[in-house]
Amino acid sequence: MKHVSGRPVRLGPRSVAALVLVSFIGIIAFCWPLFADADSAVTSHAGDAPWLFAALLPLLVAVVIATIADCGMDAKAVAMLGVLAAVGAALRPLGAGTAGLEPMFFLMVLSGRVLGPGFGFVLGAVTMFASALLTGGVGPWMPFQMLSMGWFTMGAGLLPGPRRLRGRGELLMLSAYGFVAAFAYGTVMNLQGWVLLQGLSSGISFEPGAPLHENLVRFLAYVVATSLGWDLGRAALTVVLTLTIGSTLLKALRRATRRANFEAQVTFEGAERAAPGEPPHRTYVTYERK
């Protein structure tokens, strides 16, 4: 009898292709105003948000379908994804608006670690969508938040050592990632809001058509002046929660994934029919987790 264990949700070729496509579209959506001419009809994200949202939903479905097709998972895995998204959405109002303390980021880090990058990306995006509906935070920023949270959660699923690294070392790695990624999330979202600040004639506002390096300097000043402290609160809370209760939650998530959809599949080898008068041939049972 053989037991083969692996990452609960691995990336296959179709999953990689879907994630690359949605990430490519997301990067274009965030960055295109930096390269637009000053006399362009539209140089902000206010007008492109509905189009981005319309493109994002089918792409999220495509990532889920590709991941299921690559890994052979069933509906119970999708149900677990929905439960985690609901929990994350419920956590967001507990801290949002208070010095950047947002406990949902801690859950996204651990969930991405357990579910892997494909389902992690979908979980982050769906969680942000559900929380926006719950808190009334629907606006032109919502599809950009969905993309940013998807990347945030996917990054946790791409961290090394998914099979062997456990215990204190894993928690320290997840804490370090959560700290850095919390700032990265805030910086990416600042890019979406910053391009709306045009024509203010200040040293930190976006200037359509200005050279790229000048706008990047303005953007850096904008980040330092407006959101660095907010991102620090988010990063610190993520680290504290990961180090204190991360081990317990990781065990619970891994146990839930095994029960939901990652049970070992049974195959029979060597089950040949014995000739009349001979004892039955030995049958080997192989347990394999795909």
CA distance 222 to 206: 9
- Which of 137-146, 153-162, 184-193 has the least mean pLDDT? 137-146
DSSP SS3 for 4: strand
Highest mean pLDDT among 28-32, 70-74, 176-180: 176-180
Residue-wise pLDDT tens digits, 250-280: 999 888 877 765 544 444 444 455 555 555 5
Model confidence, pTM: 0.77
Identify whether the C-beta of residue 49 lies closer than 8 Å to the C-beta of residue 56: no
Contacts of 136-141 with C-beta under 8 Å, sequence gap 24+, read: 139/49, 140/45, 140/46, 140/49, 140/50, 141/45, 141/49, 141/189, 141/192, 141/193
Q: 101 pLDDT exceeds 80?
A: no
Query: What pLDDT sits at residue 154?
Result: 92
Which stretch, 58-72, 74-88, 91-105, 199-213, has highest mean pLDDT? 74-88
